[in-house]
Chain A
Amino acid sequence: DAKTTQPNSMESNEEEPVHLPCNHSTISGTDYIHWYRQLPSQGPEYVIHGLTSNVNNRMASLAIAEDRKSSTLILHRATLRDAAVYYCILIITGNMLTFGGGTRLMVKP
């Protein structure tokens, strides 16, 4: 199964951009890259997903490397409410998400 590797934690200052990296060197051609985040005491929340091209939505941007072996979630201006665990996930089978450890993002005021 294709797996993802993320740093355990990252720190950012409020109002600054944040780049959260994810490595997925064994990704297959049909695997979408999904990002979810989980705020304390809540269920995971969808952030963004993409296949090959970079994607933007109101929450974030997703930059996908040309060889698709890595991707970066970009939060353009971090706020205190963005402090959460961010998961990079490859959807392999149906709707089954395989979560790794994720990256705990801490935002300093």
Chain B
Amino acid sequence: NAGVTQTPKFQVLKTGQSMTLQCAQDMNHNSMYWYRQDPGMGLRLIYYSASEGTTDKGEVPNGYNVSRLNKREFSLRLESAAPSQTSVYFCASSEEAGVSPLHFGNGTRLTVT
């Protein structure tokens, strides 16, 4: 039982490049989330998907897009990377949105130069 799996673990991009961060969960959870973690700022919600087929903006959605591919998979896309998007990105899932605790992956460390 892997839980929440994120790929890649590390990535370096140049300004303006694009990339997609992948996330998959094997816990049959309905809800999935993308957070970013920055020093001094804590964890901030980028986008979430309360259930398959729905996505909504979180606290810091600008510069990102998401796709809930199916119940297991939730991807985060950076269309034109900027240095301000250098961060550690965490995907999480929960059984039900709003009442269940979140289970996190081990993160993708992204550097944009």
- A and B: bona fide binding partners: no
Residues of chain A at the chain B interface (Cβ within 8 Å): none
